Amino acid sequence: MRLLVQIALLALACVVLLAGRAAADELGNVPGEVPPPRAQAAAGAEGRAASAPEPALSNYMLEALLAGLAAGLVANYVRGSRQNAALAAFWEKTIGGVLRANFSVVGDGRQVLERDSASDMLFYASGRRHCRFAQGHLMLSARQDPVALLTDLVGGGREKLELEVVLDDDASSGFVFAAVPRKRARAVGRDRYDIATFASAASNSRVPENLVVFSECADATTQMLDSGLDELLADEGCLLEEIHVTDSPAEKPETHDFERVKKLLATIRLPAPTDDGARRFGETLAFVFYLVDYIAEAVRLRPESARKIAKSRDAAFREFARLAEQKKQEAVAKIAADKRRTELDEVGKMSPEQRRRWEERDRKRALKKSLGKRTRVVK
């Protein structure tokens, strides 16, 4: 994708270059070209000798400028890609170490990170108790792409690891819990279906000021914080930016038979690539995997909390079941209406005798139907 943008930029630079050259050719009095009579008259008055070299010079400068820009973009792409590759190799060591200690299958066996673009790397691991698999997205700054880099800078830092662990279905009781930065709380509470539907912002003195915790019951909040999450989040240089536990989709489902999977999501900020940074990053990543075990083995909701959670799921998803049923009935009604319309079209083409017979049959059919309905009502 980024590469595409880069090529588009290059193409744009070339077009501008060509257009600039064409315009300069037209404006400048290139030898051999016959200037239009009026321009000739004007030029004659001022004296051609003085004005001729000047457009030629600006023409050259424009070309040089654009060629320089294109060369700069290419050089920046190569340099930025190399920087990111070196950074990815650095973080791959830490990520690979923690993954190998926690999963039996990591990456494709040879490498941990798979390059998706010059600033995006992906990984996948499976083979661990209490979860089906984990996948991650290491996002680096778009050093190779000045435009994307600018948007990154405007939108806040981008250097982070997004992690998704799909939990075993029976390993934990499903619930929704999240800790997000206060400045993201409004967007998360509005855009994530699971949070908007089931959770609300919980006030808890153990949660630092700069964070908002969304939860659906008090004992889930307490037990999640008991994992050591509260201490981790309260730490000054905490790298864990955002954490979600969920059993429901992030987006509003379209149908009632959507897939419900339990997930643990985490966003970990990348510190400066130093030994200390790598240690802290590795510890934070390992803590997220520890949470997988913790949720499965230590979180035990009270029966009344579990009942409340089940009840709110039923209420939310009953609506989907109703909508699905309504859609089905509408479809059936539409098919019947279509059939009726084609039948009437055919009747329109019949001879009078045929039509009379059809109408009689149709009347009988309608009568039978209404009788059937009435007997059903009587019963």
Q: Which residues bind ligand NAG (CB under 6 A)?
A: 97-98, 101-102, 286, 289
Nearer to ligand NAG, 281 or 289 (CB): 289
Nearer to ligand NAG, 163 or 212 (CB): 163
| Amino acid letter for position 298 | A
| Amino acid letter for position 222 | T
Nearer to ligand NAG, 106 or 217 (CB): 106
Nearer to ligand NAG, 16 or 286 (CB): 286
Shortest Å, Cβ 101 to ligand NAG: 4
Shortest Å, Cβ 102 to ligand NAG: 4
Q: Which residues of 241-258 are buried (b: 16+ CB within 10 A; e: fewer)?
A: bbbbbbbbbeeebeeeee
Nearer to ligand NAG, 121 or 285 (CB): 285
Nearer to ligand NAG, 106 or 202 (CB): 106
Under DSSP, is residue 139 helix (H, G, I), strand (E, B) or coil?
strand
Nearer to ligand NAG, 175 or 289 (CB): 289
CB of 160 closer than 8 Å to CB of 87: no
C-alpha–C-alpha distance, residues 216 and 221, integer Å: 8
Nearer to ligand NAG, 165 or 217 (CB): 165
Helices 146-154 & 2-27 angle (0-180, nearest 10)? 120
Q: Which residue has the tokens 């190569």?
A: 78
C-alpha–C-alpha distance, residues 206 and 210, integer Å: 12
Shortest Å, Cβ 228 to ligand NAG: 14
Shortest Å, Cβ 285 to ligand NAG: 8
Under DSSP, is residue 143 helix (H, G, I), strand (E, B) or coil?
coil
CB of 140 closer than 8 Å to CB of 162: no
Determine the number of helices (DSSP H) and then strands (DSSP E) in the chain. 12, 10
Shortest Å, Cβ 100 to ligand NAG: 8
DSSP output for 60-103: HHHHHHHHHHHHHHHHHHHHHHHHHHHHHHHHHHHHHHHHHHH-
C-alpha–C-alpha distance, residues 224 and 139, integer Å: 27
Q: Which residues of 146-167 are buried (b: 16+ CB within 10 A; e: fewer)?
A: eebbeebeeeeebbbbbbebbb
Shortest Å, Cβ 293 to ligand NAG: 6
Shortest Å, Cβ 99 to ligand NAG: 8
Shortest Å, Cβ 233 to ligand NAG: 19
Angle at 370 between CA 367 and CA 374, to 5 degrees: 135
